[in-house]
Amino acid sequence: MDEQSLIRRAQDGDATSFAELLDLYYDTIHRFAWKWCGHTADAQDIAQQACIKLANSLPQFRFQSAFTTWLYRLVISCAQDWQRQQRQQRQQRQQRRDVHDAVPPVESGTEGTRTEDQIYLEQVLSQLQQLGEGMKETALLVHAEGLSHAEAGEVLGVSESTISWRIHAIRKRMGQRERRKSVVL
Amino acid sequence: MRAQSFELVLRDTTAPAPNPLVRLAAKQAALVEFAQFQALRLERAGRDLRSRENATAESGQLENVDVEGGAGTGPQASPQYPRSRPTSFRRPAIVNLLAGALSACIPAFGMVVLWSDGASLEFRPRIWALEAKAISEPAALVLVAELPLPIIETVHLEPPAFSIELADAPGKVEAMSELKPSAAFADTVDIPSESMDGDRFHAFETNPIKRVADEPVSTFSVDVDTASYTYVRRALSAGILPPRDAVRAEEMINYFDYSWPAPTSPDEAFRAAIAVNDSPWTPGNKLIHIGIKGYELPPHEQPDVNLVLLIDVSGSMASADRLPLVQQSFGLLLRRLKPYDTVAIVTYAGDTRVALPPTPVREWQEILDALRALRAGGGTDGESGIRAAYELAGNNFRQGGVNRVLLATDGDFNVGITDVEDLKKFVARERGKGIFLSVLGFGASNYNDEMAQALAQNGNGVAAYVDSGYEAQKVLVREATSSLFTIAKDVKLQVEFNPATVTQYRLVGYETRALRREDFENDAVDAGDIGSGHRVTAIYELTPAAPATATAPATASNTQTYGRLLIRYKQPDGRTSRLIEQPILINPPPLSPTLQRDVELATAVAGFAQLLRGGTYTGALTYKDVVRQAEAAAVNDPNGYRGEFLQLVEEAQQMAARGGGD
């Protein structure tokens, strides 16, 4: 069955087709989520959220763009929601700690099992994050996923020229950072 | 160090392959969501269809329109739902999935086969009803709700038949029912109120009026439980009238603290007081309040405590009103214990674990840490939870002390003994050895009230329902000594009415505590217990014999009283009962103003409970009358319980006014 009719059947409520669609796209969702946050457990959470969201927003896909384009948008919005939640929870935890006892915070994540590559990625991601809204997503779509500027623009809902400008700005500022760092090192 | 441009880092850092289990979990979660979402769509489609049908008075092509979206997947097409692909789901997932599947498959004539992963899944038909009801399918629901046995192994939905395999000891039972696909879109089928709810209540009939000539003696066991009131409060606060069987008048009355006179020395276990007032429900009738208050142990007299907390940590306990509240509640309880009392913690879910060996309260930090470390998760096939808890309590037995298992659960009594009768027997056997059991219920929606009652009764303990930190404070802090220290056990009440002065009578509440007349004298018959400072109130409504009919010679002895009250009880460690006897005077000495107000409050609560149960015997009484009665009585309200009661009555009144009959 081709992708389009699979999607149509899933949109019509066919669970088997929906399951097949998940099998086809889970890896894409997971990969993108992982590159977005650079963290295994977080990526799993985001990917699951995205799958759940897919279950009830699939009918909104209108075949006006490539399915993957639409899917990227969905994963990004799940990732952003997820990050917002994490931030709130962290704040609440901190407030509670201030009030109550001095129980040390439970370190989340799988420190120590990260590869050198992963550490680099985390650094790059946090630097990109600081460049401003949409910058990290733009860099990921273009450099990591290999989308054209036009496609990335479609995912993020901005024009092609905006993407081009962002890529330029990112390159410039990341270059400055790298140069500065190499001086320090 | 490698020098690498950020572009290359982004491009070349490869994400690890997803963990297949995580992948499967994500897929299942999404499929559940998908099923629910589709069910909602179907429901909407069904509603549209119905309204259209009504408009055009045509009912030809039910399934072909809208429901399948015209994508060539009509009923004749091969079913798209997973066919003969057995999949295991964890309980919350399967409940949702089944609910979704039921609604999705029936109109589509598809087929869904669901397998549970064996005995570890306990299905409660009424939960399905609840979950599925939110989505749609009354036709299927009624079938599900009628299933008599709680444990279901396999569900087959193969139109037109619907079958469920029940895991039953002597062999597998199959429950088969016909599916009526056309009923899928029929108008809402009437579902009995209790099955809209996951909670289970023992059904009982309200005590009828009895003629003294036929049955001059009334016998019952005391009941100090208050779970019913908490449950009713929770239902009303959520905007629903509680199901009838959830309302036990005596538990509502006993929720409040009335200032019945207390005994002053430990030799006198408790004292009974009797008040006589006019009945507000039936002109000419009298209300007899019988109030009992247990001796309150001062702190230095409190025996040593050996407490084992048996805590359900199955996945369903995760929500804020369950495990977190359990942790908070038991933290509060510690404050009421003495330094050398001990606390142990046993948890049950997928397996049984001793989370904390018996630890003296003086090391409270350790106990708190163990409590805090508890996490909910996993199924509930607790292998030997209850045995492990009793074993710990037994190993640490305090002679002459309090040895008690405190079970905290949201309704999963799957503690290792699956047969209800076996479980009751086990608890009763341990009671014989001196280890008692109390049950604390948490959370709404699948709280098994009936089971909690039965277990606590067999274990000489209390069943309480904790819905908030506020309630935990009441049960575990303010009333901790009552719940922990039994001062009298097997307390039975008997009232013998005087045929010369009373023609008929009716006991308000205590339906589930009724005893046979001959059980009163039989010390082998178990009854309720009274803890330190506990108070119990019972109300009789009686019709006095009119002077004309009371033609028996007016001797001084038989017209002074309505009858007499007999109480039998045993010392906590005693085997033979003692008897207390007291006449019920027609004109007793007046009560103190405080106590008179308390009696009026009890009357108001009794009226409220009876109205919630349908108001068979309360004449023209309305919620408004109850408010009026309670207002006067709520003057003295140190803990705010009485004010809260007023609020509840007002809510019930508004709901009844709005809903009419539902």
**Lowest mean pLDDT across B67-76, B389-398, B452-461, B473-482:** B67-76
Which of 37-56 (A) contact B at CB < 8 A? 40, 43-44, 47-48, 51-52, 54-56
* Helix %, strand %, coil % of chain B (to 5): 40, 20, 40
Chain B residues with CB under 8 Å of A14 CB are 73, 80
| CB nearest to A143's CB, from B10, B19, B73 | B10
Q: Under CATH, what is the fold of the domain B210-226+241-297+487-659? A: Immunoglobulin-like (2.60.40)
A76 shares contact with chain B (CB less than 8 Å)? no
- Phi, psi angle pair for B438, to nearest 5°: -120, 150
On whether any CB of chain A is under 8 Å from the CB of B85, the answer is no
Q: Are residues A93 and A74 in the same domain?
A: yes
Q: Kindly determine whether residue A15 and residue B4, on different chains, have CB atoms separated by under 8 Å.
A: no
Domain that holds residue A12: 1-112
* Sequence-ordered list of residues with C-beta below 8 angstroms from that of A98, at least 6 positions apart, any chain: none
Give the Cα-Cα-Cα angle B33, B38, B43 (nearest 5 degrees): 130
Q: Closest chain B residue to A45 measured between Cα atoms?
A: B26
CA B413/CA B469 separation, integer angstroms: 23
Boundary (domain end) residue, out of A112, A145, A175:
A112
pLDDT at residue B12 is higher than 60: yes
Q: Is the pLDDT of residue B547 over 70?
A: no
- Residues for chain B: how many in total? 662
Residue A96's pLDDT is what?
63
Phi, psi dihedral angles at B2 (to 5 degrees): -75, 140
Q: Is the pLDDT of residue B141 over 50?
A: no
Q: Which residues of A touch B12 (CB under 8 A)?
A: 117
Residue B197 has pLDDT above 80, yes or no: no
Which tens digit of pLDDT belongs to each residue from B584-593? Answer: 999 998 888 8
Q: What is the pLDDT of residue B241?
A: 83
Across the interface, whether the CB atoms of B31 and A18 are under 8 A apart is answered: yes
* The predicted structure's pLDDT at residue B88: 29
Given a cut of 50, whether residue B61 has pLDDT beyond it is: no
Least confident residue range of A97-111, B286-300, B331-345: A97-111
Say which CATH number the domain at A140 has. Answer: 1.10.10.10
Distance of residue A60 Cα from the nearest chain B Cα, in angstroms: 13
Asked whether residue B483 carries a pLDDT value surpassing 60, the answer given is yes
pLDDT of residue A74: 94
Our CA-based measurement puts residue A24 at a distance from the nearest CA of chain B, in whole angstroms, of: 11
Residues A76 and A158 placed together within one structural domain of the fold = no
Half-sphere exposure of B87 (CA within 13 A, CB side): 19
pLDDT surpasses 90 at B611: yes
User: Is residue B495's pLDDT more than 70?
Assistant: yes
Q: Which of A12, A19, A144 sits opposite B27 (nearest CB)?
A: A19
Å between B507 CA and nearest CA of chain A: 51
Please tell me the distance from the alpha carbon of residue B383 to that of residue B351, in angstroms, as a whole number. 6
Interface contact B26-A51, CB threshold 8 A: yes
Interface contact B81, partner A, CB < 8 A: yes
pLDDT score of B137:
32
Whole-angstrom distance, CA of residue B6 vs CA of residue A46? 23
Assembly ipTM: 0.85
DSSP 8-state code for residue B592: P
Residue corresponding to tokens 């977190």: B324
Band the pLDDT of A139: cuts 50, 70, 90: very high
pLDDT mean over B412-425: 72
Q: Do residue A164 and residue A107 come from a single domain?
A: no
Q: Give B475-489 as a 3 state SS string.
A: HHHHCHHHHHCEEEE
CB contact under 8 A, A139 and B10: yes
Kindly identify which residue of chain A lies nearest to residue B41, measuring between CA atoms. Answer: A13
Q: Does B104 touch chain A (CB under 8 A)?
A: yes
Give the pLDDT score at B118: 26
Nearest CA in chain A to B7: A143
pLDDT winner (highest mean) among A123-127, A181-185, B548-552: A123-127
For chain A, the domain total comes to 2
Q: Please, are residues A56 and B37 in contact by the beta-carbon 8 Å criterion?
A: yes
The CATH 3.40.50.410 portion of chain B extends over 302-484
Q: Which residue of B has its CA nearest to A182?
A: B3
Q: Does A22 touch chain B (CB under 8 A)?
A: yes
Q: Kindly report the CATH class assigned to B302-484.
A: alpha beta
Q: What is the domain-level CATH number for residue A61?
A: 1.10.1740.10
Q: Look at B498 and B234; give whichever has higher pLDDT.
A: B498
- Could you read off the pLDDT of A8-53 as tens digits, one per residue? 989 888 888 898 999 999 999 999 999 998 888 888 888 988 998 9
Q: Please report the pLDDT score of residue B466 as a whole number.
A: 79
Least CB-CB distance to A15: which of B4, B23, B80? Answer: B80
pLDDT band at residue B184 under the 50/70/90 scheme = very low
B439/B462 Cα distance (integer angstroms): 6
**Which of the listed residues A112, A136, A162 is the one where a domain comes to its end?**
A112
Q: Give the distance from residue B30's alpha carbon to the nearest chain A alpha carbon, in angstroms.
A: 4
Tokens 């005995």 belong to residue: B119
Which residues of chain A neighbour B4 with C-beta distances below 8 Å?
A: 120
CA distance A89 to A148: 36
* 8-state DSSP, B339: T
Q: Which pLDDT tens digit goes with each residue over B345-401?
A: 998 876 778 889 999 988 877 888 888 888 877 655 544 788 889 999 999 998 888
Same domain, A105 and A23: yes
Contacts of B493 (CB under 8 A, 6+ apart): B219, B220, B221, B222, B290, B538, B565, B566, B567
> Could you give the percent of chain A with pLDDT greater than 90?
33
Same-domain check for residues A105 and A147: no
How far is B468 from B470, CA to CA, in rounded Å?
A: 5
| A143 to B68: CB separation less than 8 angstroms, yes or no | no
Whether B75 and chain A come into contact, CB under 8 Å, resolves to: no
Residue of B nearest to A39 (CA): B15
Instruction: Evaluate whether B279 touches B286 at the Cβ level (below 8 Å).
Output: yes
- Looking at per-residue pLDDT, the higher value among B433 and B333 belongs to B433
Mean pLDDT along residues B316-334: 78
Residue A121 near chain B (CB below 8 Å):
yes
pLDDT over 50 at B267, yes or no: yes
What average pLDDT does chain B have? 71
Chain A residues with CB-CB distance to B41 below 8 A: 13
Q: What is the pLDDT of residues B219-232, one digit of tens each?
A: 999 887 777 888 88
Separation between Cα atoms, residue A25 and residue A31, nearest integer Å: 10
Q: What is the predicted pLDDT for the residue at B451?
A: 76
Nearest to B80 among A16, A34, A51 (CB): A16
pLDDT at residue B147, rounded to an integer: 31
Tens digit of pLDDT for each residue in B66-110? 333 333 333 333 333 332 222 222 333 333 344 444 443 333 222
Whether A90 and A46 map to the same domain: the answer is: yes
Examine the domain organization and report whether A71 and A47 are in the same domain: yes
Q: Which of A92, A112, A132 is the last residue of a domain?
A: A112
CA distance B4 to chain A (A): 9
In whole numbers, what is the pLDDT of chain A averaged over residues? 82
Interface contact flag, B13 A118, Cβ < 8 Å: yes
| Candidate from B6, B19, B34 with C-beta closest to A174 | B6
Question: Given its phi and psi angles, is residue B70 left (phi above 0), alpha (psi -120 to 50 degrees) or beta?
Answer: left
Please tell me which of A70-79, A168-177, B111-120, B317-326 the model is most confident about, judged by mean pLDDT: A70-79
Q: What's residue B112's pLDDT? A: 28
- pLDDT bin (cut points 50, 70, 90) of residue A97 is low
Check pLDDT > 50 for residue B173. no
pTM of structure: 0.49
